[in-house]
Structure 1
């Protein structure tokens, strides 16, 4: 146990995810609190998201150490042919159902091993997974401001030892929202970074006042980056194939296509393959998706997978797509790179030196190690 002079503390990790915080946003001079955190702890050159570089799959990868094909949350929306049901991330009454969520998130690993966990709005945290839930959970609520999130963390840390969570997970959406609406190079994204930095500054001040700077480990991550897009970069599926033959299409900017009839797959694939010779996208049958994407081995991955070039979007006209920023592309693309910063008693000080980039499947194992937990099976190293 550690002490702040008045109270005893078990090993503690506060992990904050800033959705859509591209690795290089940290170099814009808008986030002095995060810059200081990196200097006092460690910052990675970047963190590589899992494919597809989309919010729900990567948030769940961060907390399970499993790639999307392994944990089953393969996109923000997808069709499962075995369940004959569709996952919609925007419909909590449906997406919170346990049937969707595979693997073992860190908050479950903690509770199973007699530690407490508290989770604020992290994708998956409102669901019962393998029969467990976090000790404390707060579901998604877009009205909660970043500074209030910092206060939530401090309130949990103020609990008595026997009630206090050792893992605290927090989700923040502001930077991603600004990136989608205005594009990654916008004033609004820079403004959102300042808001997030204000939240971190408030958290660090609160830790300092409680003498917890050298007691609590703080990890700041993101799920993916962001790239510029626009109406001139839309590829309409209706112009390429007969959408009446498609039962489900999901995954924008990707097109994950499930035909109504299996026998239509060869013809649809062939049509799309021919179209891709003159348009900025690649198309694969599920079993032929390049190995490095780790995006083949799950029934929820549609039989036909179309992957657009960076900045392009595949949608149907009826989808009414509009955005200036987008993600979901090749996870090795520079613009898709996510962020990683950590500081605390378990983290060595790099004094401003950045560590090499690494894949986000390794975060789960790191947190488990700090908390002295035996990790569940995962894809990390």
Structure 2
């Protein structure tokens, strides 16, 4: 499965929940500025104006089906909460989350949720910390597999494994980086251009937005300095665009929260300034070792999709392999499993029907 662009956590969790591209649902990065609200996005900000679109649990609730969600980004926001929600807590283990899931499944029929969503963050955290090819991440993935096995055994013990749908997704992949793949964008810009800029946005992309008091030509000057660099260096390891010129396939132009200038580094490269990482330091540990957020068609950014259950078997048969698709399709697929009507305002095009290749 291909993630949405940019392939970062908050953007893709909300795409999975709503079926919308980030430019449509408004969570355009993990870190960005809204020039209308005049403030920086924070996951702790309980303001529903950040979160556009209708998440799957609200779609279900409109059609008299209850939901419960464990730590999914956006599910804790006032006005967007499902009936049952557990806020993010980094100390809770995957097994504990699935214990809670099974407790909800054990509720009497009239109280039992029809949809349960669970976010498990340890793979992402350890991927950043140790990199995607480390023994540490291998162990983390084995632990996640064990936790999912624990859930499936719990369902099987309840004679529910063949009667309930389980959908497993990831929000993105992970690429390895190191100190040799750092691009210092403050070396590219003139001191005048640097003085006009707000704090950078959209890491590991480079989103640049001039301050309100910058001159009208600031955007064009900053862009031109980046563009000139890409033309004078044989391998600059990034592409730079004015927001309106970002390739259409990325769906990353039509929102005021997207910075006016967007630089997209090659996979594994990171754009920083000297305040973030000192290239002359032999002792400073480079971090993170694993990064995501790159072109959503890059092999390293691929996410996973697995589904099991009676309707899945009926539609595709067992052990079916699907043709690649974009994660904007997951919302309508889950609506199909819930037997509810999807909100028509989503960006999926397959109406919950995937293409089997074998």
What TM-score do you get using the length of structure 2 for normalisation?
Answer: 0.89
C-alpha distance in 2 between matches for 1:228 and 1:276: 23
Give SS of 2:208's match. strand
Identify which of 48, 51, 54 aligns with 1:104. Answer: 54
Contact kept? 1:79, 1:300, Cα under 8 Å: yes
Instruction: Give the structure with the larger strand fraction.
Output: 1
Of residues 345, 354, 364 in structure 1, which corresponds to 2:331?
A: 364
Match of 1:244 among 178, 195, 199: 195
Return the match for 2:25 from 66, 71, 87.
Answer: 71
**Among 183, 205, 209, which residue is 1:258 paired with?**
209
2:14 paired with 1:60: yes
SS of residue paired to 1:248: coil
**Among 250, 256, 271, which residue is 1:299 paired with?**
256
CA distance in 2, matches of 1:276, 1:157: 55
**1:337-356 superposed matches below 5 A:** 337-348=302-313, 350-356=317-323
Whole-Å separation in 1 of the counterparts to 2:38 and 2:237:
32
Contact 1:68 1:74 survives alignment (8 Å) = yes
Q: CA deviation at 1:248?
A: 3.0
5+ residue gaps in structure 1? 1-46
C-alpha deviations, 1:29-50, integer Å up to 9, x for none? xxxxxxxxxxxxxxxxxx0001
Alignment match, 1:134: 82
List 4+ stretches of structure 1 deviating above 4 A: none
Q: Distance in 2 between matches of 1:370 and 1:313?
A: 40
Aligned pair count reads: 329
Residues 265-324 of structure 1, C-alpha deviations (whole Å, 9 max, x = no match):
111100011122321110000011011101000000000000001110112233357211
After superposition, residues 104-253 of structure 1 pair within 5 angstroms as: 104-128=54-78, 131-241=79-189, 242=191, 243-253=194-204
In structure 2, C-alpha distance between the alignment counterparts of 1:166 and 1:107, rounded to whole Å: 9
Q: Secondary structure at the match of 1:235?
A: strand
Aligned partners of 2:34 and 2:257 also within 8 Å = yes
The residue aligned with 1:289 is 246
TM-aligned CA deviation for residue 370 of structure 1? 1.1
Q: Paired residue for 1:380?
A: 348
Deviation at 1:353, TM superposition (A): 4.0
Alignment of 1:9-88 (within 5 A): 47-88=1-42
The match for 1:37 is none
Separation in 1 of the partners of 2:153 and 2:100? 14
1:331 aligns with 2:296: yes
Does the 8 Å CA contact 1:111/1:132 hold for their aligned counterparts?
no
Contact 2:74-2:80 within 8 A present in 1 as well? no
Alpha-carbon distance in 2 for matches of 1:319, 1:80: 24
Residue 32 of structure 1: aligned partner: none
- Do 2:264 and 2:294's aligned partners in 1 also have CA atoms closer than 8 Å? yes
User: 1:266 aligns to what SS in structure 2?
Assistant: helix
- What is the DSSP-based 3-state SS (H/G/I as helix, E as strand, rest coil) of the residue aligned with 2:165? strand
RMSD: 1.3
Tell me the distance in 2 between the aligned counterparts of 1:230 and 1:144.
30
Aligned-pair CA distance for 1:172: 0.6
Using the alignment, how far apart are the partners of 2:309 and 2:181 within structure 1?
A: 43
Q: Could you list the per-position Cα deviations for residues 165-185 of structure 1 after superposition, in whole angstroms to 9, with x for gaps in the alignment?
A: 111000011111111111111
**Secondary structure, in 3 states, of the residue corresponding to 2:77?**
coil
Q: Is contact 2:69-2:85 (8 Å) kept?
A: yes
What TM-score do you get using the length of structure 1 for normalisation?
Answer: 0.84
CA positional deviation for 1:232: 1.4
Measured against aligned partners, the alpha-carbon deviations of 1:120-154 in whole angstroms (never above 9, x if no partner) come to 000100013xx442010001100001111111110
- By relative contact order (CA 8 Å, sep 6+), the higher-ranking structure is 1
| CA distance, structure 2, for counterparts of residue 254 and residue 288 of structure 1 | 15
Q: Contact conserved, 1:149 with 1:199, CA < 8 A, in 2?
A: no
CA displacement at 1:351 relative to structure 2: 3.9
